[in-house]
Amino acid sequence: MEKLGANPANSCPLTPLGFLERAATVYGDCPSVVYHGTVFTWSQTYRRCLRLASALVSLGVSRRDIVSVLLPNVPAMYEAHFGVPMSGAVLNSINTRLDARTVSVLLRHSGSKLILVDPALLPVLQDALRLLPPGHQAPRVVLVEDPHEKDFPPAPASALTYERLLETKGDPEFRWVRPASEWDPMILNYTSGTTSAPKGVVHCHRGIFVVTLDSLVSWSVPERPTYLWTLPMFHANGWSFPWGMAVVGGTNVCLRRVDAGEVYDTIADRKVTHLCGAPVVLNMLANAPEGVRRALPGKVRILTAGAPPPAAVLGRTEAIGFDVSHGYGLTETAGLVISCAWKGEWNRLPASERARLKSRQGVRTPGMAEVDIVDGETGRSVPRDGSTMGEIVLRGGCVTMGYFKDEEATKAAIREDGWFYTGDVGVMHPDGYLEIRDRSKDVIISGGENISSVEVESVLYGHPAVNEAAVVARPDEFWGETPCAFVSLKDGAAATSAAEVMAWSRERMAGYMVPKTVVFRAELPKTSTGKIQKYVLRNLAKEMGPTRRGVSSSKM
Amino acid sequence: MEKLGANPANSCPLTPLGFLERAATVYGDCPSVVYHGTVFTWSQTYRRCLRLASALVSLGVSRRDIVSVLLPNVPAMYEAHFGVPMSGAVLNSINTRLDARTVSVLLRHSGSKLILVDPALLPVLQDALRLLPPGHQAPRVVLVEDPHEKDFPPAPASALTYERLLETKGDPEFRWVRPASEWDPMILNYTSGTTSAPKGVVHCHRGIFVVTLDSLVSWSVPERPTYLWTLPMFHANGWSFPWGMAVVGGTNVCLRRVDAGEVYDTIADRKVTHLCGAPVVLNMLANAPEGVRRALPGKVRILTAGAPPPAAVLGRTEAIGFDVSHGYGLTETAGLVISCAWKGEWNRLPASERARLKSRQGVRTPGMAEVDIVDGETGRSVPRDGSTMGEIVLRGGCVTMGYFKDEEATKAAIREDGWFYTGDVGVMHPDGYLEIRDRSKDVIISGGENISSVEVESVLYGHPAVNEAAVVARPDEFWGETPCAFVSLKDGAAATSAAEVMAWSRERMAGYMVPKTVVFRAELPKTSTGKIQKYVLRNLAKEMGPTRRGVSSSKM
């Protein structure tokens, strides 16, 4: 028995990339990706991805190179999830809401060789490229035209466009580049996490393979679903469903923007069966006016995660007829690894009680090895009493390999004790279901996006009049939370207004990160060692009551 | 990026054993295992498996020791699939229809430390133990009593019984033994039936983890199915469904024996939704007389594999109302790795054409990395023409680690080119679906032409009087070999003659494929899993002596 082990036939790398070739064989004539009048079949998508992979190779992209995408949920975005790693490169999806400065920082940090960009995001990219330091090799830009957006200007004749690239450099018979090891990197996602320095989360082929099958089983996804892309694919790779849809031969219905009317229309017209979204999407669907809502075409299943959903929002969404499942994951787990697995007997409870139970994050998914909540000081499991808080820790096949070029952050998160420390705080209920009580204290979650308070503060600290700044979450009726800044001013700077601080911020960070509330204080509360007491400020922000909709951008 | 890779949080071993603990949390009060009046819940099953694991440890069983089971599909058999490996030991399920001599050979070869045995199989085991060579340390015997079998004698007072073991030595709070590596052995299955020398197929935790999730996704198993155990669990570990049922919280309905009446009654009374079985089980259900059949309680899905099912049998089974899926796997792949993934457009075809398409084995499952059919001489892929035969080769995460104490057999099957050679012969159709034509040794070579015995049999199954058919090679002075058919007839069809069957065949196949000999038998010899024992028939055909040129028919 000692002599038996890994061998050439059973140790070939676990990878999700083979799912596509299989989909082309089994679902060849079925729709794969739909976007307005554009409909691809699985056999076309397979060949387009092979074209993309071979075109990248012909442009000089090689194993472990970074290829970035700055795209909304359009067909090219779907194709990148297979086509880029099929060239051997690592896919780096960039949040489309970032400002040019941050995009520039990410391109520099990743050393990206090539970027696919949407026409609407080209100006941001161009600004980002100008901000690259002298001597830095800028990535090659490929413009992904959108024939369905009549307002977009035509691509300059000199521009390398996506379709031209596939047509002139793409080989639909390309033998795709298989990973040499299942631990080869495949994905690089930057978190807008808890610190100002961007952290590049790296996932390998094995991790994506495991989370993809696990997510399908955990959500009981049947064959041939019609899946609506309300969740941005750049957000933790759409929780693994780009690869999952190839497994089950689903139809990927693409949407450039998420708006209640368009979502309801698409659900009804395309007979959508499945969609994912942060609680803010559920809130949008639940609060849509009568005239905007459409009758659901059948059973429509929604998977929500990304922020703790208020029970009231879950309740309202189910009252409309959606079948909501709730889970939890991080960019570092490449998808959901905790889910509120539903018990039949709970169906007999009143709606409000059902919503309360469903708002708990739940239990580990089958593919995740272990989950616990530990005391930060002792490292021991907290009691299962539903009230003792501790940090959520995880281990399993889809946990990140670590942070790109950041050994310190990697060591802080992945410890010698074999756990990944999430930085999220929760409680364990007596029935073994966990519930998040406070996303790691300083993070603000606005519309499903994590906002680093430290990052916002560091900008505020750059304002000439600001003495000290602390940013915490303030409840918001629509976004869940918005950033609220407490600021003390330098002597002689009393004339500075809140509006001025906001305007100043708007020029220096993405719109969603700009504080929607600015409170001036003579001094900020501090501990004896001089640390600002954020929990005091958080309570003050709560006492102000929620901000209301319409304050800023309605863009998601 | 070079520095990132496996780390303590993401490289914890992939294993199916954690599925049970999760099932106890999520499905704690739901039925797990049902056997006549005995109903366990998932939380009970979890605690019973922990008791079993800890009891084994207390009896001195340690990591990598072999623990055997000689049991029908009773609750203890289910529990062994978790409880034995949770002690660190390797589970060795023994075919319950083997004779004492073979059981003795297996116990000696495996060096089994302990065996769980059914009262009905105790005499065979006792004979097997007596046949062990002097000095060989016999395994400790644990008798699994069955309170539902009134005819069984009570266990001797001296006997160590299963329930007494769990009660006196079992600790329901035991911390189960996690594998040190995902490549640690977990399963040892001896292949049986078709060859004389048993080979011990070893699977590791990783392989079982992969095949379990893969099989659930591939068969689209929903949450909380009611699963009827018509497939013996000793047969390739019930194609991974003992572990899969814990993932989805299914109800395992146990059956000691598979008989048409009991199967129909159980399906109707327990509202069964899923079951697996070799084609012989389908045949049994399809040919059951009117009085035995019961109306199906709803959609009942059958997964069949283990032998190529004749299209006629598939057609008859579906006509009754079963929803049949067809796949292919080997003990060496721990479950099905090829499945006839169904295409919606095929539903528009006539029933006979649907059955023909469904009788093809199909395409690789999502979790299997690669499948091919290669020319035995050149090792190159055969053309996708549906007629050129070659050997089926596989690679993927659930391929066996090799054969226990048999380096030669391991090397012959797992080659340096990275493929596992199945020994099965098939063709690749133009649409990428493969079809098995034979075990390589079952191919009949007549006048230089390869004849697929399966192909001839599938025609014979279409004859209205034929119950079962098996075709083997009979020596021929001129052609080398000719097809020889062994046939059992349906009740009341005794009048059918060999000449009639040959004439009927001649209208439906090439002349060289028509059986030159037709032998009628009341029953065909079978293995415990329902596979017809072709080597027995081949020997009979040889004993008849060679056919002569121009001479046909020889009725026994």
* Domain annotation covers residue B447: yes
pLDDT of B556 higher than 70? no
Angle made by CA atoms B531, B285, B467, in degrees to the nearest 5: 60
Coil, helix or strand at residue B480: strand
Could you give the angle at which helices B453-461 and B498-506 cross, rounded to 10 degrees? 110
| Residue at B526 is within a domain | yes
CB contact under 8 A, A414 and B369: no
For residue A235, pLDDT beyond 80 = yes
Please check the confidence at residue B154 and state whether its pLDDT lies above 50.
yes
| pLDDT at res. A556 | 25
Say if residues B507 and B462 touch (Cβ distance below 8 Å).
no
Q: What CATH number is given to the structural domain containing A456?
A: 3.30.300.30
pLDDT at B307 over 90: no
Which whole number is the average pLDDT over A185-206? 83
Of all residues in chain A, what percent carry a pLDDT higher than 90? 71
Cα separation values, A471 from A454, A534, B113, B142, Å: 8, 8, 64, 66
Of A214, A240, A257, the residue at which a domain comes to its end is A257
- Distance, in angstroms, between B81 CA and closest chain A CA? 17
- Chain A residues closer than 8 Å to B357 by CB: none
Pick the last residue of a domain from A257, A282, A301: A257
Please choose, from the candidates A298, A296, A301, the residue with its C-alpha nearest in 3D space to the C-alpha of residue A215.
A301
Q: What is the 3-state secondary structure (H, E, C) of A271-328?
A: CCCEEEECHHHHHHHHCCCCCCCCCCCCCCEEEECCCCCCHHHHHHHHHHCCEEEEEE
pLDDT at A197: 67
A337 and chain B: CB distance < 8 Å anywhere?
Answer: no
Could you write out the DSSP letters of every residue in B79-121?
A: HHHHHTGGGTPEEEE--TT--HHHHHHHHHHHT-SEEEE-GGG
Alpha-carbon separation of residue B550 from B471, B481, B553 (angstroms): 19, 13, 10
Range of the domain at A488: 444-543
pLDDT tens-digit profile of A519-541?
Answer: 999 888 876 555 677 878 999 99
Give B248's contacts in chain A (Cβ within 8 Å): 217, 220
CATH number of the domain to which B135 belongs: 3.40.50.980
Count of Cβ atoms closer than 10 Å to residue B509 Cβ: 17
**B185: nearest CA partner in chain A:** A1
Lowest mean pLDDT among A271-275, B5-9, B137-141: B5-9
Contact call for B9 and A366, based on CB within 8 A:
no
Closest chain B CA to residue A19:
B366
Answer whether 0.90 is exceeded by the pTM: no
Q: Is residue B437 assigned to a domain?
A: no
Query: Average pLDDT in the A105-124 region?
Result: 96
> Letter for the amino acid at B29?
D
pLDDT tens-digit map of B69-120: 999 999 999 999 999 999 999 999 998 988 898 899 999 999 999 999 999 9
- Tell me the nearest-neighbour CA distance from B496 into chain A, angstroms: 42
Domain presence at residue A301 = no
Q: How far apart are the first and last CA of chain A?
A: 56
Say which range, A436-440, B17-21, B30-34, B72-76, has the weakest mean pLDDT: A436-440
Could you tell me whether strands A274-277 and A301-304 are parallel, antiparallel, or unpaired per DSSP bridges?
A: parallel
Domain boundary among the residues B174, B208, B243 is at: B174
- CA nearest to B119, candidates B90, B96, B137, B139: B96
When pLDDT is averaged across residues A101-125 and rounded to a whole number, the result is 96
SS3 call for A329: strand
B217: which chain A residues are within 8 Å (Cβ-Cβ)? 213, 216-217, 247-248
Is B366 inside any structural domain? no
Enumerate residues 6+ apart whose C-beta is below 8 A from B413: B332, B400, B402, B403, B420, B421, B423
Is residue A15 within 8 Å of residue A209, measured between CB atoms?
yes
Which of B8, B183, B363 comes nearest A418 by C-beta? B8
Selection from B35, B37, B19 nearest residue B27 by Cα:
B19
What dihedral do alpha carbons B122, B125, B126, B131 form, nearest 10°?
A: 170
Residues 6+ apart with CB under 8 A from B487: B460, B466, B467, B468, B469, B501, B518, B519, B520, B521
Pick from A34, A16, A25, A29: nearest CA to A82:
A16
Interchain proximity B344–A30, CB inside 8 Å: yes
**CA distance to A210, A248, A424, per residue, from A23 (Å):** 18, 8, 37
What CATH number has the domain bearing residue A247? Answer: 3.40.50.12780
A257 touches chain B (CB under 8 A): no
Answer yes or no: do A395 and B10 touch at CB < 8 A: yes
Note the ipTM here. 0.87
Q: Which amino acid is at B89?
A: A
Q: Which residues of B touch A247 (CB under 8 A)?
A: 217, 366
CB-nearest partner of A25 from B10, B210, B432: B432
| φ, ψ at A35 (rounded to 5°) | -150, 105
Judge whether A430 is closer than 8 Å to chain B, CB to CB: no
Which secondary-structure segment (H or E) carries A190? strand A185-191
The answer, yes or no, to whether residue A447 has pLDDT greater than 90, is no
The tokens for B53 are 């694991």
Domain membership of residue B135 (yes or no) is yes
Q: Which residue of B has its CA nearest to A24?
A: B432
What does the alpha-carbon distance between residue A169 and residue A167 come to, in Å, rounded to a whole number? 6
Instruction: Find the largest Cα–Cα distance for chain A.
Output: 79
Domain count along chain B? 2
Most A CBs within 10 Å: which of B2, B3, B4, B332, as the mutation test of the A interface? B4
Whether residue A49 is contained in a domain is answered as: yes
Q: Name which of A246, A243, A223, A220 is nearest A233 in CA terms.
A: A243
DSSP character at residue B511: G
Q: Is residue B69 one of the residues assigned to a domain?
A: yes
Tokens of B520: 């009628």
pLDDT for B2 equals 66
Contact (Cβ atoms closer than 8 angstroms) between residue B247 and residue A217: yes
Q: What is the pLDDT of residues B418-463, one digit of tens each?
A: 999 998 989 999 999 999 887 777 888 887 777 888 889 988 998 9
